[in-house]
Amino acid sequence: MMPDAPAEIQADLLRRIAARDRDAFGEFYDQTARPLFAIACRMLGNEGEAEEVIQDAFVQIWTKADKFDPAKGRAFHWALALARNLCLDRLRARQRRARVIVENLETPEWEAAAAPESAAPTTWSGPDGVVVQNAVRELPGDQRRAIELAFFDGLTHQEIAAALNEPLGTIKARVRRGMLKLRAGLEQLL
């Protein structure tokens, strides 16, 4: 069976998984693992990371099966949302790493020379440094600011909306558009 199996069958499997039925877990895995993995590969562009994400997703399926509500949607879509969120977490971590790289690129040479050896920044030069700098520069200021507040200052979307005196939907859209632009700009490097 594939993810398009009758919704009732997969919903029943999740109910059984919530009761710690290992056979139901195996059936659900057999039905959904391949398409979830394919989606994770597409989102992350890396099979190794996709494998890790899918493993984490199935741990969450095992532990959170009791949270599934068939009235709110299909079982496969619920599992897909778990996997997608884990993929987004991975992509956000990549963005944070890229931000650190950019900050190190922006450190003036004299500051790096004056810093203690243990605190010396990693320097990037050549084509990789150019790719990172260009990706960040290409972001419109409002998107760059929303992303900085969300991913580097740890604010929630609501907190960003309040801090910038903007509607919540506007902030969510800015963050999403900015992340997509950064991802596209950094694909070569990451």
For the domain made up of 92-186, the CATH class stated in words is: mainly alpha
* Residues ≥6 apart with Cβ < 8 Å to 107: 121
Overall pTM > 0.85: no
- Fold of the CATH domain 7-90: Rna Polymerase Sigma Factor; Chain: A (1.10.1740)
92-186 has the same fold as 7-90: no
> pLDDT digits over 90-128, tens only?
888 877 777 766 665 554 443 444 444 433 333 334 455
Residue boundaries of the structural domains of the chain:
7-90, 92-186
CA 22 distance to own-chain centroid: 29
Span of 18-32, 97-111, 157-171 with lowest mean pLDDT: 97-111
Span of 2-6, 89-93, 151-155 with lowest mean pLDDT: 2-6
pLDDT at residue 148, as a whole number: 73
Amino acid letter at 151? Answer: F
Averaged pLDDT score across all residues of the chain = 79
Cβ atoms 98, 155 nearer than 8 A: no
